[in-house]
Structure 1
Amino acid sequence: MDWYGIVKALHVISVISWMAGLLYLPRLFVYHASEPPGSATAETFKVMERRLYRAIMNPAMMATWVFGLAMLWMTPGWLEDGWMHAKLFLVLVLTATHHMMGRWRKAFAADENGNSTRFYRIANEIPTLLMVVVVFLVITKPF
């Protein structure tokens, strides 16, 4: 049985799920920030944001890390490559971004959002840019 292939497939599935959340949650924040606190629409956004973050994003992030570290355990030579160091650093930045979005979600849940829709539109681009660089690093292994 090709255990490495299975772990790699599970890693890719986890990354896709995690990235979907990282790209969608700030878009929800854009719409939520334009609603008055306490409105029916704002309350609906709170439910959507909580479910996305807790039921999809958190498990997907944890699975991404577990399967990614399992692949590193199976191919320890990658730790000698510069591209892997860069990738791991960027995944740490993605993880920090994930947790930052969690803090923003909690602020919305408490009706204490202090950021504008423009702020969230810009924040929405961060995971995209990080993903593009990570994919190029993994595919091209430039250094």
Structure 2
Amino acid sequence: MVAWMLVIHLIGLVFWLGSLLAATHVLAVHAQESSEEARAALGRLEKKILDGLAHPGLALMVVSGIILLFLQPYAIRELWMHVKLFMVLVLIGLDVKVYRRTESFQAGAIELRREECMIWHGVIAAVFLAILVLVMVKPFS
């Protein structure tokens, strides 16, 4: 059961973070685009990526993660797990920020710069890599 939950957890992770990274990259292209037709197409693509892939992946990852904690209750006593869970909350916060900024940008309420989108992209990737190190190395065990 634990192995299957790990598989489901990783599938959710790949869908969520892969899509979130793709969305920030598409958003960076969108921010530079001047053609209205291209901007509309990029906006639809961003919405499909976030609503159709990233957020279902996030839900799958969170639910399977909670189940894993119930199946392996000893893990919650580890410091690396506490740091990981905090970093997951940071990633969820970044996801919400990207989603809200994307909606506001598409509605014409704000302007975005490519650099801002690429900073989000880099921060999301860095937090993910930190989580990966925590899970694989378990530095505080």
Give the TM-score band, short-chain normalised.
over 0.9
Q: 1:68 aligns with which of 50, 65, 70?
A: 65
Provide the residue aligned with 1:81 in structure 2. Answer: 78
SS for the counterpart of 1:60 is: helix
C-alpha deviation, 1:78, in angstroms:
0.8
1:123 & 1:139 partners in 2: Cα distance?
24
Deviates further, 113-122 or 73-82: 113-122
Question: Which aligned pairs between 1:1-143 and structure 2 lie closer than 5 A?
Answer: 3-36=1-34, 39-143=36-140
Aligned residues: 140
- Structure 2 letter corresponding to 1:21: S
- Alpha-carbon distance in 1 for matches of 2:64, 2:121: 26
Task: Specify the SS of the correspondent of 2:139.
Answer: coil
Q: TM-score, length-normalised on structure 1?
A: 0.94
Shift of the alpha carbon at 1:108?
Answer: 2.2
Distance 2:45 2:112 in 1: 19
Instruction: Identify unmatched segments of 5+ residues in structure 2.
Output: none
Residues 105-114 or 19-28, more deviating: 105-114
Report how far residue 113 of structure 1 moved: 3.1
CA contact (8 A) 1:26 1:121 kept: yes
Query: Percent identity among equivalent residues?
Result: 24
Normalised to the residue count of structure 2, the TM-score between the two structures is 0.95
- Runs (4 or more) in structure 1 with deviation over 4 Å come to none
CA contact (8 A) 2:105 2:112 kept: no
Q: Is the Cα contact below 8 Å between 1:35 and 1:41 reproduced in 2?
A: yes
Question: Counterpart of 1:18 in structure 2: which amino acid?
Answer: W
2:2 partner letter:
Y
> Structure 1: where are the runs of 5+ without partners?
none
Give the deviation of 1:119 after TM superposition: 1.1
